[in-house]
Chain A
Amino acid sequence: MTMDLIIEAIVALCIVIGGVFTLVGSIGLIKLNRPMPRLHAPTKASTLGVGAILIASMLLSFWRGEGSLHELLITGFLFVTAPISALFIAKVHLHRGEMAQDPPPPPMDDVWATLDTPPEDLEAGRPDQPSATPAE
């Protein structure tokens, strides 16, 4: 009986922690005022938020004797996909160049991969830029 109470308290604690961190992630999205810093809040605060909620779910399912390990898989997929979405948002910011400070050039090699436009594309002109050689 008391064990029931302890497990439930731990599960409740995990859910509250998860909720708080998810909330902080959302607050950060609103509060941070520049595009690149804004990227940080949702990528990090939400990993621990979701993680704590998944731990709570796993703990409860094992306590009730219907053990579930789906949550491990969800965590794994989350850890693999979260950096990729962050990387793509960062790449969009690099392309649009709307940052407070432009990134410095790489210490070795020529340019950052995102900005490495092949010469034939530069000649053809991108749709959002006037082409170098006007079309007939």
Chain B
Amino acid sequence: MPRKLARRILPHPLLTVLLVVSWCLLQNHVSLGTVVFGLILGLLIPGFIAPYWPDRPHMKKPHLLPGYVLLVIWDIIVANCIVAYIVLFKSNASLQPAWVLVPLDVKTPEAISMLAGTITLTPGTVSADLSDEGHALLVHALDAPDPDAVRDDIKNRYERRLKEIFE
């Protein structure tokens, strides 16, 4: 019973934390007032949207998330340098753009959207579409002489970690 009550008041505990933190960041200073008002928002908003988001993501290992974010930030820096090099020094004719098909092992929509976002932000790849039943991603690579290597890289580097975090 107490568990059920806690679930009613806090349908998305992580979302509540996120809302409090972003409210304090928006106010640009931390005081009792901003934290309390952030907490009010953090309790009201998840309550209002709970009916529209019934299957909330159950993160199995949320403590792995910061490591994932750091890895992605590092990859974004590397990706930027690679893309800058390609743009500045490679001729259009020598570019080998390719479509890459990525069969998905992750099933939760939240994990898939995080994977798609990561792919767009990192080395020379943009996620373009999802198959109609959500079992494969269509990815476009800017310069991929070997599309299979790109696919394996995405699966081993990002999807494996996301699967660990979400499922």
A-side interface residues toward B, CB under 8 Å?
A: 20-21, 24-25, 27-28, 31-34, 36-37, 39-41, 43-45, 47-49, 51, 68-70, 72-73, 76, 79-80, 82-83, 86-87, 90-91, 93-94, 100-101, 103-104, 106-114, 116
Contacts and interface: CB of A to CB of B under 8 A. Distances in A.
A108 B131 contact: yes
A113 B130 contact: yes
Contacts of A32: 87, 92, 95
Nearest to A100: B97
Interface in B49-92: 76-77, 79-80, 83-84, 87-88, 92
A90 B88 contact: no
Contacts of A86: 120, 126-127
Interface residues of B, number: 39
Nearest to A46: B80
- What's the dominant secondary structure at chain B's contact region? mixed
Contacts, number: 144
Interface centre among B84, B88, B135 (most CB of A within 10 A): B84
B87 A27 contact: yes
Interface string B19-45: 000100110100000000000000000
Contact of A109 (B28, B92, B133): B133
B140 A21 contact: no
- What's the dominant secondary structure at chain A's contact region? helix
A44 B131 contact: no
B126 A94 contact: no
B103 A79 contact: no
A112 B130 contact: yes
